[in-house]
Amino acid sequence: QLQVVESGGGLVQPGGSLRLSCAGSGFPFDVYAIGWFRQAPGKEREGLGCISSSGSSTNYLDSVKGRFTISRDNAKNTAYLQLSNLRPEDTGVYYCATDRLSWYSTTCPAEKRWDYWGQGTQVTVST
């Protein structure tokens, strides 16, 4: 069965860094794109970025460009979200999603196009 599982969240201080992982199983990881999303309590979920199946293309939300980096290691069936220079407003539950998607623009596929979601991992940025 198709599954993605996030890990790596935790409590960090402002300015700190964290690397989140998204481990896939039950599907051909190297032909599925990965999207990263986050949701703060009481807020709508927002897309952070996405990476193509091969890893050749990445797109990012403007507000996280230069601080967040999406990558993947298909040999390990794992994608990553490197969070750097974290701010309190980055606090939330971070999700990865996957689907057999492709795109031609500089924006990621809309949230509702992703069919398969992980359970999320909590990131808290606080002193």
pLDDT tens digits, 102-122: 998 899 999 999 999 999 999
Q: Would you place residue 22 in the very low, low, confident or very high pLDDT band (cuts 50, 70, 90)?
A: very high
What are the φ/ψ torsions at residue 119 (nearest 5 degrees)? -85, -15
Contact indicator for 52, 32 with CB cutoff of 8 Å = no
The token duo for 59 is: 């797109």
% of residues, the chain, pLDDT over 70: 100
- Residues 69-108 have pLDDT tens digits of 999 999 999 999 999 999 999 999 999 999 999 998 899 9
